A and B are shown apart, each in its own frame.
Chain A
Amino acid sequence: MSALTDDTLPVTPRAMRDEMIVFAVMAVLLAVVPFTGIYPFFVMQALCFALLACAFNLLIGYGGLLSFGHAMFLGTAGYVSAHALKVWGLPPELGIVAGTAAAALLGLVTGFISIKRQGIYFSMITLALSQLLYFLYLQAPFTHGEDGIQGIPQGHLFGIFDLSKPTVLYYVVLAGFLGGFLLIYRTINSPFGEVLKAIRENEPRAISLGYKTDQYKMLAYILSGTLAGFAGSLKVFVAQNASLTDVHWSMSGEIVLMTLVGGLGTIFGPVVGAFVIIAMQQYLAGFGQWVTVIQGVIFVACVLLFRRGLVGELAHLLRRSL
């Protein structure tokens, strides 16, 4: 099996420095958003999807596993958080913990089922599992079926930060995104991340070197699912609802698309991809089903012409790792 990313550069101090600079620029740019007049709701939504795409990218870009069911983490965490906040009346921080923990548990269960199958089968299994959950949520009473859970109270985070104020909510979401991003960055550059890359490049060889590759993949899968769930819990505060859209296969497809557009296996690619796709949906909202067609065209174009994605092409051009 040929590698997904054909030119992996070794991690050098220079690469680390570059990445840190880009990260700092990104953090500053995002931090000044509330002062620029840009609609914060749009950026918050994009940040949630950016974290989601980064979590997905951890699995495919570094573990070589294409999950076609990542919407199940987004949707499950969303439902659990929404239920915890609205029905149980938990404070925001515990609502987030509940949603994220539910996603972690889901990762454990679905990972146990799917991780032993490789490549294409893994993708089909994750897709089928997410469809299974979709039907369960369609019928379960607590999700309110087609209506979803609406009017979720935002509350005060840690009893201090009033999340109903857009600016406060914005910085909370930004902090969550940056925290998740750094965790993924740390994971990629840890010894654990190096083993994952080795498994992606050549699994039999990694096995022959004594690594229990299933365990590594399982851990990466759970971590990816948990972070995707964290993004889903944050999104509940932004959208103030949890609905079936978030569990549908088309959402899983969008997550794949964001990562593909930005660049599989790049550090900043999923963030760029998420902003591009969310912006596109925003601007083309009036075109109805043509948005789906355009997304399809982007898929085809990316696979045939820009397999490295936007950030991957840029990194290749600059001969840097980004």
Chain B
Amino acid sequence: MQALYAQLLVGLINGSFYALLSLGLAVIFGMLNIINFAHGALYMMGAFVAYFLLNLGGINYWWALLIAPVIVGIFGMILERTMLQWLAGLDHLYGLLLTFGIALIVQGVFQNYFGSSGLPYSIPDQLKGGVNLGFMFLPIYRGWVVIFSLVVCLATWFLIEKTQLGAYLRAATENPTLVRAFGINVPRMITLTYGLGVGLAALAGVLSAPINQVRPLMGADLIIVVFAVVVIGGMGSIMGSIITGFALGVIEGLTKYFYPEASNTVVFVLMVVVLLVKPTGLTGRAA
């Protein structure tokens, strides 16, 4: 049973990353109509920024949680201003191709300087150790990742669904021209939205640094799984992304325990099943 709970926890952690990343993809897709292929690369950048902050600037994990998403978010906003904005009105596919190119550049540069091996990032002192819950041993850091991710996801949901700013955002997603006519600066909102989505990816990167090590290709395979998550859950609803992300993480964790050979593929297999049963995905909106 110990092993089962341990895999469930790993599943919840992976689910946290799926949720944070698919949430960012959904927010970006809503405003920019772009599937951000660079999301995995920016997730990786988040982890690397945390690594640099610690090893070059002596800035600890807690500050990195705040600073890394801001730095990567600003990098993302520069990308949006200099490149992505020129794609408005073109076929969606060009956004995918452009961000795929950006991902290749970012990953290639990091791979060139840091190879493919992982760099260690130690768990902050306050979160070291673990507690015995009776039925399992819970490493504190892992519990922290799950709870903190959940809080960030819900905060993002609240920001978009329940605040004035979020209302503008949702309105601009539906009809940018009309929102613009009300005197709201839509292009700036688009830039900030991209920054927000990218910042969430970077945050996930910082969270994963002590668990998965810091590697140039850490986001490359992850982003494909997240795409499958997005296909399953659809990008229409924020809460849908969060729930699908966590749920698929847990299912993957269970697979690791019951049938480890399929743990790499289970999310893709589920995607196939969902598409066969319901071609429009779980949320049901036609593409």
Binding site for B on A (CB under 8 A): 1-4, 60, 66, 68, 113-114, 116-125, 127-129, 131-132, 135-136, 138-139, 249, 253, 256, 260, 288-293, 295-300, 302-304, 307
Decide yes or no: A120 and B287 within 8 Å by CB, A125-B231, A127-B227, A289-B112 being known contacts: yes
Q: Does B10 make an interface contact (CB < 8 A)?
A: no
Decide yes or no: A289 and B230 within 8 Å by CB, A117-B279, A121-B287 being known contacts: no
Question: In the complex, how many angstroms separate the beta carbon of A244 from the nearest chain B beta carbon?
Answer: 13
**Cβ of A293 and Cβ of B272 under 8 Å apart?**
no
Decide yes or no: A116 and B96 within 8 Å by CB, A127-B227, A131-B224 being known contacts: no
**Cβ of A117 and Cβ of B287 under 8 Å apart?**
yes
Question: In the complex, how many angstroms separate the beta carbon of B266 from the nearest chain A beta carbon?
Answer: 10
B contacts with A: majority SS: helix
Which residues of chain B are within 8 angstroms of A256 by Cβ–Cβ distance?
97, 100
Alpha-carbon distance between A292 and B280 when the two chains are bound, in angstroms:
35
Alpha-carbon distance between A273 and B253 when the two chains are bound, in angstroms:
43
State which size class the interface on B falls in: 35 or more
**Cβ of B107 and Cβ of A3 under 8 Å apart?**
no
Which residues of chain B are within 8 angstroms of A136 by Cβ–Cβ distance?
265
Decide yes or no: A135 and B231 within 8 Å by CB, A3-B91, A117-B279, A292-B104 being known contacts: no
Decide yes or no: A123 and B279 within 8 Å by CB, A128-B228, A253-B100, A303-B98 being known contacts: no
Which residues of chain B are within 8 angstroms of A289 by Cβ–Cβ distance?
108-109, 111-112
**Cβ of A113 and Cβ of B272 under 8 Å apart?**
yes
Q: Does B105 make an interface contact (CB < 8 A)?
A: yes
Alpha-carbon distance between A119 and B287 when the two chains are bound, in angstroms:
8
**Cβ of A124 and Cβ of B228 under 8 Å apart?**
yes
Which residues of chain A are within 8 angstroms of B190 by Cβ–Cβ distance?
none
By beta carbon, the residue of chain A nearest B82 is A304
Q: Does B136 make an interface contact (CB < 8 A)?
A: no
**Cβ of A296 and Cβ of B227 under 8 Å apart?**
no
Alpha-carbon distance between A131 and B221 when the two chains are bound, in angstroms:
9
By beta carbon, the residue of chain A nearest B38 is A296
Alpha-carbon distance between A297 and B97 when the two chains are bound, in angstroms:
11
**Cβ of A293 and Cβ of B287 under 8 Å apart?**
no
Alpha-carbon distance between A128 and B97 when the two chains are bound, in angstroms:
16
By beta carbon, the residue of chain B nearest A68 is B96
A contacts with B: majority SS: helix
Q: Does B271 make an interface contact (CB < 8 A)?
A: yes
**B 72-90 to A, binary, CB cutoff 8 A, 1 in contact else 0:** 0000000000010011011
Q: Does B209 make an interface contact (CB < 8 A)?
A: no
By beta carbon, the residue of chain B nearest A295 is B104
Question: In the complex, how many angstroms separate the beta carbon of B66 from the nearest chain A beta carbon?
Answer: 29
Which residues of chain B are within 8 angstroms of A298 by Cβ–Cβ distance?
101
Alpha-carbon distance between A292 and B103 when the two chains are bound, in angstroms:
10
Alpha-carbon distance between A116 and B272 when the two chains are bound, in angstroms:
12
Which residues of chain B are within 8 angstroms of A135 by Cβ–Cβ distance?
264-265, 268
Alpha-carbon distance between A129 and B230 when the two chains are bound, in angstroms:
14
Which residues of chain A are within 8 angstroms of B89 by Cβ–Cβ distance?
2
Decide yes or no: A2 and B265 within 8 Å by CB, A119-B287, A296-B105 being known contacts: no
Which residues of chain A are within 8 angstroms of B258 by Cβ–Cβ distance?
none
Q: Does B261 make an interface contact (CB < 8 A)?
A: yes
Question: In the complex, how many angstroms separate the beta carbon of B253 from the nearest chain A beta carbon?
Answer: 17
**Cβ of B268 and Cβ of A129 under 8 Å apart?**
yes
A-contacting residues, B251-267, CB 8 Å: 261, 264-265
**B 26-63 to A, binary, CB cutoff 8 A, 1 in contact else 0:** 00010000010000000000000000000000000000
Which residues of chain A are within 8 angstroms of B92 by Cβ–Cβ distance?
1, 119-120
Question: In the complex, how many angstroms separate the beta carbon of A276 from the nearest chain B beta carbon?
Answer: 16
By beta carbon, the residue of chain A nearest B261 is A139
Question: In the complex, how many angstroms separate the beta carbon of A197 from the nearest chain B beta carbon?
Answer: 15
The answer, among A60, A123, A128, for a CB contact under 8 Å with B271, is A128
A-contacting residues, B230-284, CB 8 Å: 230-231, 261, 264-265, 268-269, 271-272, 275-276, 279-281
Counting chain A CB atoms within 10 Å of each CB, the highest count among B86, B93, B271, B281 belongs to: B93
